Amino acid sequence: MTFETRIGRRFAQLKEEGRAALVTFVTAGDPDRDTSMAIVKGLPAAGADVIELGVPFTDPMADGPSIQAAGLRALKAGQTLKRTLAMVREFREGDGETPLILMGYYNPIYVYGVEAFLKDAKDAGVDGLIVVDLPPEEDAELCIPSRAAGIDFIRLATPTTDDRRLPKVLTNTGGFLYYVSMTGITGSKSADSGAVGREVARIKRHTDLPVAVGFGIKTPEAAAAIAEVADGAVVGSAIVDVIARGLDADGKAKPGLVEEALDFVARLADGVRGARSRAAE
């Protein structure tokens, strides 16, 4: 099953431009709904090519301390999956082009109801899903229905995904393949661009999908290094850390938090945009 989505159009556009994508992750509702909404709305102008919006969950087993803390802050502020979809709808009122992906765990979707969720997600303007606890063996649960609804289902591959496992991972995957640059949880180490480059080349022997790389990208320089060897650099924990540093002792947003977060994203974007031109010199 093939269909055109904003994700496919964006990566095709960037391929024509000869550069990689900056994919940014923030947790919906962190530290509160209004601050989070302001950050999300500002991401495209700051240079984000694709937005991953994390759906907070009480048991985020694949997330490191930074994103776990962000999820807890969002849940404390009342964020839910329904409110996350409402944020997507509001974002779409002013931006009909930037791809937006929901990233999280299956439980909130299961509780919501798969059919109802997919209808509401599509209506809101969601382009893709990353559900980290649903392996390919469970495609009938959500992956296949999401693709039938016109929503890309984006799969993760890791350094332990060998050539025997990779075809299974790629089955029904759409939009792009998210390559996790290291084993472990988010935000725990730094990515090695040399090793990543070899893995991206190996994966591309199996698929025409773009390959975006995440985990361990903490600085504009690191994002630039990954952008030289992959189709996209995914930055999450580092952005979430900037948000956390902008909170007061009560966990409330201090003046200037939104601007600081978006300034950091702009510096990441500068790194990514300059990567291919430097590599060609």
Q: Quick check: 195 pLDDT over 90?
A: no
State the SS3 of 243-262: HHHCECCCCCECCCHHHHHH
Task: Please say if the pLDDT value at position 137 is more than 50.
Answer: yes
Q: Is 59 inside a domain boundary?
A: yes
For residue 253, tell me if it sits in a domain: yes
pLDDT value for 223:
96
How high is the pLDDT of residue 155?
96
Q: Is residue 115 part of a domain?
A: yes
Nearest to 77 by CA among 28, 24, 25: 28
Share of the chain above pLDDT 90, in %: 87
The mean pLDDT value for 194-214 works out to 93
63 among known catalytic residues: yes
Q: What is the pLDDT of residues 243-277, one digit of tens each?
A: 999 999 999 999 999 999 999 999 999 999 997 64
Taking only Cα atoms into account, the Rg of the chain, rounded to an integer number of angstroms, comes to 17
Average pLDDT score over residue span 187-210: 82
pLDDT tens digits, one per residue of 63-77:
889 999 999 999 999
SS3 of 155, please? coil
pLDDT above 60 for 215 = yes
pTM of the entire structure?
0.94
Which of 30, 49, 63, 199 is an active site residue? Answer: 63
pLDDT tens for residues 39-64?
999 999 999 999 999 999 998 877 88
1: in domain: no
Q: What's the mean pLDDT when you consider all of the chain?
A: 92
| Listed range (1-10, 66-75, 214-223) with the worst mean pLDDT | 1-10
Asked if the structure places residue 126 within a domain, the reply is yes
Distance CA 107, CA 57 (A): 8
In a domain? residue 233: yes
> What is the DSSP-derived secondary structure letter of residue 22?
E
Give tens-digit pLDDT for 76-98.
999 999 999 999 999 999 999 99
**Which pLDDT band holds residue 279 (cuts at 50, 70, 90)?**
very low
Number of domains in the chain: 1
pLDDT recorded at residue 186: 47
pLDDT tier, 187 (very low <50, low <70, confident <90, very high otherwise): very low
- Catalytic, 260? Answer no
**Catalytic residue chosen out of the listed positions 30, 52, 127, 139:** 52
Containing structural domain, residue 250: 6-280
Domain CATH code at residue 124: 3.20.20.70
For the cut 70, the answer to whether the pLDDT of residue 170 exceeds it is yes
Residues 6+ apart with CB under 8 A from 70: 26, 27, 30, 31, 54, 56, 240, 243, 244
